[in-house]
Structure 1
């Protein structure tokens, strides 16, 4: 495309409604850079790349206004932000089924699947969901409770333990940064609907963290076991999620999405057991550096 320029965001830039609002550049542990594509004096695309707060990896997002797609603008934006990254660290992207353009763009760049999230939905105040929740019983020696009944510091430690091993596939994990991530993430967690499972020693072994109206009108439940080799992990995790679902059913909450990476081997079994009402699967993809292009799609 002629007259295309890639540059940093400037004061007074008019961002089209089709594009996300740009976030400011940041240095340090939360490093982030944003670039825009300008054609004939108008912004037609935007890209950002941000260093993950606790892993040596980046997450990249590229958006182009509908009328200017399939002209190479997105590829040029990606190349511009990729040049700003540390070449030792992978650049990752999220691709959901509800946004098929993201996957097609990633496949054009060349990509591989790092981890999957089936992201099934459950409709708590329905007979099918109630029957499912009733059938999820904690095994002997375990019980579930909402996190509002537990010291928050203990919940934080369990979440940090899980985060460390679940995210190793993304890049080297900085254990010291995880508590700061919890401090930010937990602000959106509902303690009256979120649940944990504890063993005989009162150690938290699984959690189900509820974020109401997290995105697109959906309530998210992030569910994992605290350790990858947790005994009775699938049964314990199912009972924990069921505790949250029961609370949400009493509230009449609809459109609940279960989040969880398949790197936790217990998560897929719990997700497959849910009554089928839809899903929005998401892959975390590792993008190839430009100008490499994979013709075979994601592996």
Structure 2
């Protein structure tokens, strides 16, 4: 079936933001600057947390993995997007579209669970500080990363297979800047009920389940912090969680609205901009939020720059 589709439809056209023809060069410069910032910012976070012994803890282990994810999944979409700003040919091959979609969703889904793992880490550190090193062992941390990655690969393998075995006999134009699931589904000329049911079930597992785990962790964290007698102690504990709360709000706020709202002509453009936010802008904010609001990371970066100078 895939071979039949591939011969009938050899490629798609990524429209991106071609509705602004006059701004293509300007948009290229803006997103090139953002991409370089994502690589440098997240790369610096990885380097600092790897080389400084003071940051050898589960929290920075998860932060390092988060930075790896941000670099890789923006590299799946942004280079092609940059090329399309300047090129007249905005085509992406049938197989290339499937690979891009699969890789993008696997990495983004892994990030959902990684944010949940980071919330659990803060829960253990604040609510069970005496057992923190025992509970958050190296083996447990690795399982909290590799388990969600494996689950995401299996879930989206089925989802991608179901989508790209559909017949595509209509338009080739994808009204998006990457091969997102919903815009590609709109091009299928067959019954997509099974795909929509699978998508809904996958969204529950990938988006809603980690979100509830994060909420449950922070309910326990807040209740524990409020029981502390010292106001200064409460402020310090809240400060250790603030960066993570900001990133969860930015990522989940845009991702849930983009993927769980009913599709319509009115929401199509909104969802495209929301996808831009969680897929590109959140990875840019990640190193800024975690470094500017984290005293330990700032101190390590200062020491690093002093050594280099």
Under TM normalisation by the shorter chain, which class is it? under 0.3
Q: TM-score, normalised by structure 2?
A: 0.20
As a proportion of its length, which structure holds more helix? 2
Q: TM-score, normalised by structure 1?
A: 0.21
